[in-house]
Structure 1
Amino acid sequence: MRAKYVLSEVLVGLWRNVTMTIAMMITMTVSLSMLGASLLMYRQVDKMRAYYYQEVEVSIYLKGDVTPEQRSALDGRLHADPLVKEVFYEDKQMAYENFQKMFQDAKDMVESVSAAEMPESFRVKLNDPKQFTAINQQYREAEGVQSIVDQQQLLQKVFDVLGAIQSLSLIVAAVMGIAALLLVANTIQVAAYSKRREVAVMKLVGASNWFIQMPFVLEAVFAAVLGSLLAGGLLIVTKVFVLEGSLQALTNLLTPVDWGDVWLMFPILAGVGGLISAMTAWITLRFYIRV
């Protein structure tokens, strides 16, 4: 009987303040969408960092006048080095073919360069990509070596940009979350004020604070959970029509977002939205409305 009464009061309260309920749901949807996108980005950047850092190579470029003896001695040192996992030698012709593939859309640039002008290099994959400093110290003064480039340093610039986007999205999500919480508190206050006479009568007949407050708390939780479902739907739409649509080439380059991560956002967003809304409603009733 009590459960039936509480649920009926929740439905009545939602319908009575339908415009504010819709506004609260929309605000929750936007803020939780930003939160979900931020969490997905964090997971994706971590996956990208783990994947690409295992694939990065150290490029040891050779001088144009390097001798076969110098090249052979360097090759032997690299193969015997315990820090080195794999070694691949790229001659001038192979470097030119890779250059043609990389800049195939810039024909003028490709035609202005010949294979003889391309540098020879050793592409070295390390057992621990963080050991670049040790490799650089050992081989930068070796005979025939022109320069040493660590791809990890280039990737770090990309990850720095992605990290800044992560932080910005979290800040926006936090601002929207604060706006949503203020709207929840305001909605609860309006709902409690509109039912102040009923609340006073219930207090007179001995109803507990928990019984009086529960319908208001459930209203906020209902709006938050529905907003989280809409936020999850927005993430699905974004993945299907944006990440797998217009930006598919970019997402394939940066490693695609897994469906498992998207589905994982549903319980996380519902839990976060429902819990925070319930706490906000309870605090509002407890310290401001004092029903």
Structure 2
Amino acid sequence: MRAQFVLSEIGVGLRRNLTMTFAVIVSVGLSLALFGGSLLMSDQVNQMKGYWYDKVNVSIFLCNKSDAESDPNCAKGAVTTEQKNQIKADLGKMPVVDKVAYESQDQAYKHYKEQFGDSPLASSLTPDQMQESYRIKLKDPEKYQVIASAFNGRAGVQSVQDQKGILDNLFTLLGYLNWAARGVMFVMLVVALLLIVNTVRVSAFSRRRETGIMRLVGASGFYIQAPFIMEAAVAGLIGGTIACSFLVLGQYFVIDNGVALSQKLQLINFVGWDAVLTKLPLILAASFLMPALAAFFALRKYLKV
């Protein structure tokens, strides 16, 4: 009987404050969708780091004849065979080095033509203008400075470049975007909580006569508060379900099918369904508990029981 009464009061409360309930559902849904999206973005960045950091190389570019005339780092002239052999030997002795690959001027020219063949500059380049280089795979990509300090400024070396630095800039940008999304999410959560508190206040005020009678007949505080708390929790749960739907639909229509980014951007290793599905219970739990707790504390102040 008591459960039936609580359920009936929940239905009455939701219908009585339909507009505010709708606002709560929308704000909770959008804020938790952003919350889930930010969690997935963090997973995506971490997955991309693991994928790309494993593939990045450190490149030691060697001086050619053109560099000897124009680059201060190559003031001692183009690299000699002896210098190249010494660089390779030194790399082989370094414990941080996993693999070393040599790229000749002809190979560099071929790779450039493959990647930038349509560029106007490509037609004016010749193989002797390209730089020889050593492509180094490190056991730990974080150890770039070991290579840089050992070879920067050495005779025959034009520069030492770390591809990880380029990726770091990309991941930093993605990190900023993720924090921006979390900032918007936080603002929307605050708005949702304020709406929940206000909705509970209005609902409690509109039913003050009923709650007064219930107090007079000896109803417990929890029994009086339960319908209001459950109203907020149900509205939040509906919003959480909407948020979960956004994530599932986004994964299906944006990543896997429809836009199909996973097929169009094959260089990016997108997070899969396992990452999405693990976020759904967390979102549903938050959508239920957050409004319920907000309503509970609001009732302590606005509903004297």
Fold conserved between structures, TM > 0.5: yes
1:29 match: 29
1:264 aligns with 2:291: no
Structure 1 range deviating more: 219-228 or 13-22: 13-22
Of residues 138, 159, 164, the one that matches 1:147 is 159
Of residues 232, 255, 268, the one that matches 2:269 is 255
Structure 1 range deviating more: 210-219 or 92-101: 92-101
3-state DSSP of counterpart to 1:55: coil
1:102 aligns with 2:127: no
Matches within 5 A, 1:62-73: 62-64=62-64, 65-73=78-86
1:165-211 CA deviation, whole Å, 9 max, x = no partner? Answer: 11111110000000000111111111111211111111111111101
**RMSD of aligned C-alpha atoms?**
1.8
Q: Distance in 1 between matches of 2:104 and 2:263?
A: 30
How far did residue 251 of structure 1 move?
A: 5.1
1:56-78 CA deviation, whole Å, 9 max, x = no partner? Answer: 21100011132222222211221
Q: Distance in 2 between matches of 1:238 and 1:251?
A: 16
Matches within 5 A, 1:1-291: 1-64=1-64, 65-104=78-117, 106-244=118-256, 245=259, 247-248=261-262, 252-291=266-305
Q: Distance in 2 between matches of 1:94 and 1:79?
A: 22
3-state DSSP of counterpart to 1:164: helix
How far did residue 235 of structure 1 move?
A: 1.7
1:64-100 CA deviation, whole Å, 9 max, x = no partner? Answer: 1322222222112212221101111111222222223
> Which letter maps to 2:275?
D
How far did residue 25 of structure 1 move?
A: 0.5
2:70 match: none
1:209-232 CA deviation, whole Å, 9 max, x = no partner? Answer: 101111111111111111111111
Q: Distance in 1 between matches of 2:23 and 2:48?
A: 37
**Contact in 1 for aligned 2:262/2:268 (Cα 8 Å):** no
> Which letter maps to 2:16?
R
Count residues with an aligned counterpart. Answer: 290
Q: Percent same amino acid among aligned pairs? A: 39
1:114-173 CA deviation, whole Å, 9 max, x = no partner? Answer: 322211111111122221112111122333211100112111111121111111111100
How far did residue 249 of structure 1 move?
A: 6.4
Quick one: structure 1 residues 93 and 263, their matched pair in 2 at CA, closer, same or farther if it must change by over 3 Å? same
**Contact in 2 for aligned 1:251/1:257 (Cα 8 Å):** no
How far did residue 19 of structure 1 move?
A: 2.1
Quick one: structure 1 residues 243 and 114, their matched pair in 2 at CA, closer, same or farther if it must change by over 3 Å? farther
How far did residue 250 of structure 1 move?
A: 7.1
Question: Gapped runs of 5+ residues in structure 1?
Answer: none
> Which letter maps to 1:91?
S
How far did residue 286 of structure 1 move?
A: 0.5
3-state DSSP of counterpart to 1:206: coil
3-state DSSP of counterpart to 2:189: helix
TM-score (norm 1): 0.93
> Which letter maps to 2:105?
K
Structure 1 range deviating more: 205-214 or 9-18: 9-18
Moved over 4 A (4+): 246-251
Q: Distance in 1 between matches of 2:8 and 2:223?
A: 13
